[in-house]
Amino acid sequence: MTGKRDKKGRVLRQGERQRKDGRYEYRYKDAHGETRSIYSWRLVESDSIPKGRKNGKPLRELEKDIIRDLEDSVNSYTAHRTTLNSFYDAYIETKYELKQSTRTNYKYMYGKYVRDEIGMKNVAEIKYSDIKKFYVHLIRDIGFKPNSMEIIHTILHPVFNVAVRDGFIRSNPTDGVMAEIKKSHNWEKPKRHALTEPQQERFIEFISGSSTYCHWKPLFTVLLGTGARIGEVLGLRWNDCDFKQNIIDINHNLIYRQQDSGKMEMHITTPKTKAGTRIVPMFADVRAALLQVRQRQIENGVNQCVVDGYSNFVFQNRYDEMLTPHAVNRVIDRIIRDCNLEETEQAKQEQREPVLLPHFSVHNLRHTFCTRLCENEPNLKIIQEIMGHRNIETTMDVYNEAIKERKVASFASLEGKIRISDAAGFTHYFTHFG
């Protein structure tokens, strides 16, 4: 018995038919037994596209994809009708282990940069080239740096992994994209530079002598004397300071971030890793700075702020409110400006080269402490524990940089003190043979 034929007289396979408008249709049952249909204006590759109609794969090629997906238990029908946004929303709701701060950051980054862009596409239609194009767009047009790109990739990669594991797509289109992006852009994570010893001394000296900034000295002394992260210092409580043993117990962070509601809020969070929970000994300067703050609070009133049930905080602003990292960075910018203006004028009067402060953020103070520590402490394990580094590689990077600079400075100071050969002999050689 002869099967159905199309308008060109070609025999159609089971499940195939040609509609009255000329389109070809293939009906099949998906993995759940539901009847589905796919359509194309062409039966095979050699067919021409009717004028005014959208191009696409021929029906026979689509059939091959369907059969392959059914054999591999890939639910391509749903994947072609489900956006990346839908997959992300379902994924993020199941990530109960995420810290609230991390969850909030992920939602913010996805909502701002992904949702109205590639997030609108159906997950089955997103290819490797689409992801690469999207990443390049973020770098070139938005100005993304490596850290921001890593966040976006960290969000998207597991979402597509879930889609693969649940049988909606065959492979993860984000696989290998970041490696290619890093290679093509010759990316290196920007190095945070430590203040030199003269710069560090000038920074503290200026603050100490300034009526405008002197009340900030205890905070910066603690930052430069502990190497603690800004959130760890701003969240520091008197309960965490043991003046008998002269140690500081670092066990939580103060964060200030935009929440799902869009509002900026303060919260307390525990360290991301076990290494973040640590004991840091007090230097005499740090102890004195903390006691100065304590005396000031006794005279003017104790910090009454409460954040997520935590209270008795060490640091506060002049309005008895919690400080934020943004506020600290803003005051650093002002200090750098005013300090450099003063130093330039003094150096001019004294006919010397000025010691100018470079532009830096509060995190550079942590890096500065770590550098000073590396310059004076050979035990990497001790440095790692004090800094709260999860990986020893991070500690080694700072250590190697600090030692390199110290070696260069050491050799410069030894110039002319160590006799290697007869300088006159070299002079004689170059005179006669040069």
Buried b or exposed e, range 84-106, using 16+ CB within 10 angstroms: bbebbeebbeeeeeeeebbbbbb
The most confident of the ranges 10-19, 164-173, 404-413 is 10-19
Instruction: Evaluate whether 155 touches 108 at the Cβ level (below 8 Å).
Output: no
Per-residue pLDDT band at 361 (split at 50, 70, 90): very high
pLDDT tens column, 288-306: 999 999 999 988 877 789 9
Instruction: Evaluate whether 17 touches 24 at the Cβ level (below 8 Å).
Output: yes
- Whether 421 is in a domain gets the answer no
- Whether 403 is in a domain gets the answer no
Q: Last residue of a domain, which of 324, 357, 390? A: 357
- The whole-number pLDDT of residue 236 equals 96
Q: What is the mean pLDDT of residues 164-174?
A: 83
Here the CATH number for the domain that contains residue 289 is 1.10.443.10
Q: Do 112 and 206 share a domain, yes or no?
A: no
Per-residue pLDDT band at 103 (split at 50, 70, 90): confident
Q: What is the mean pLDDT of residues 191-202?
A: 88
- d(Cα 333, Cα 331) in Å, to the nearest integer? 5
- Whether 425 is in a domain gets the answer no
Q: Do 159 and 300 share a domain, yes or no?
A: no
Here the CATH number for the domain that contains residue 88 is 1.10.150.130
Between these two residues, 45 and 336, which has the higher pLDDT value? 336
Length of the chain: 434
Here the CATH number for the domain that contains residue 38 is 3.30.160.60
Q: What is the mean pLDDT of residues 138-161?
A: 90
Q: Last residue of a domain, which of 333, 357, 381? A: 357
Q: Do 330 and 268 share a domain, yes or no?
A: yes
Give the domain range for residue 49.
16-73
Q: Do 89 and 130 share a domain, yes or no?
A: yes
- In the predicted model, is pLDDT for residue 391 greater than 90? no
Instruction: Evaluate whether 273 touches 300 at the Cβ level (below 8 Å).
Output: no
Q: Last residue of a domain, which of 26, 51, 73? A: 73
- The whole-number pLDDT of residue 71 equals 55
Domains: count for the chain: 3
SS3 track for 172-232? CCCCCHHHHHHHHHCCCCCCCCCCCHHHHHHHHHHHHHCCCCHHHHHHHHHHHHHCCCHHH
pLDDT tens column, 243-280: 999 999 999 999 887 666 667 788 898 887 788 899 99
Q: Do 201 and 330 share a domain, yes or no?
A: yes
- Whether 5 is in a domain gets the answer no
Q: Do 203 and 299 share a domain, yes or no?
A: yes
Which tokens sit at 234? 């701003």
- In the predicted model, is pLDDT for residue 409 greater than 70? no
Instruction: Evaluate whether 157 touches 172 at the Cβ level (below 8 Å).
Output: yes
- d(Cα 358, Cα 336) in Å, to the nearest integer? 8
- In the predicted model, is pLDDT for residue 49 greater than 70? yes
* Dihedral, CA of residue 269, residue 275, residue 277 and residue 283, to nearest 10: -130
- d(Cα 226, Cα 366) in Å, to the nearest integer? 8
Between these two residues, 34 and 344, which has the higher pLDDT value? 344
SS3 track for 260-325? CCCCEEEEEECCCCHHHCEEEECCHHHHHHHHHHHHHHHHHCCCCCCECCECCECCCCCCCCCCCH
Between these two residues, 179 and 263, which has the higher pLDDT value? 179
Q: Do 208 and 347 share a domain, yes or no?
A: yes
Q: Do 167 and 304 share a domain, yes or no?
A: no
- Whether 405 is in a domain gets the answer no
Between these two residues, 258 and 120, which has the higher pLDDT value? 120
Q: Do 169 and 318 share a domain, yes or no?
A: no
Least confident of 75-89, 134-148, 217-231, 360-374: 75-89
Which string of DSSP letters, residue by residue, matches 48-95? PPPTTPPP---HHHHHHHHHHHHHTT--HHHHTTSBHHHHHHHHHHH-
- In the predicted model, is pLDDT for residue 59 greater than 70? yes
Instruction: Evaluate whether 13 touches 27 at the Cβ level (below 8 Å).
Output: no
Please provide the average confidence, as pLDDT, over all residues in the chain. 86
Q: Do 154 and 234 share a domain, yes or no?
A: no
Q: What is the mean pLDDT of residues 93-104?
A: 79
Q: Do 245 and 111 share a domain, yes or no?
A: no
- Whether 69 is in a domain gets the answer yes
Burial class of residue 3 (count of CB atoms within 10 Å of its CB; 0-12, 13-18, 19+): exposed
- The whole-number pLDDT of residue 74 equals 47
Query: Rounded to the nearest 10 degrees, what angle do helices 325-350 and 362-376 cross at?
Result: 70
Instruction: Evaluate whether 374 touches 403 at the Cβ level (below 8 Å).
Output: yes
Q: Do 168 and 108 share a domain, yes or no?
A: yes
- The whole-number pLDDT of residue 427 equals 55
Between these two residues, 95 and 325, which has the higher pLDDT value? 325
- Whether 302 is in a domain gets the answer yes
- The whole-number pLDDT of residue 1 equals 46
Q: What is the mean pLDDT of residues 57-77?
A: 69
- d(Cα 157, Cα 394) in Å, to the nearest integer? 25
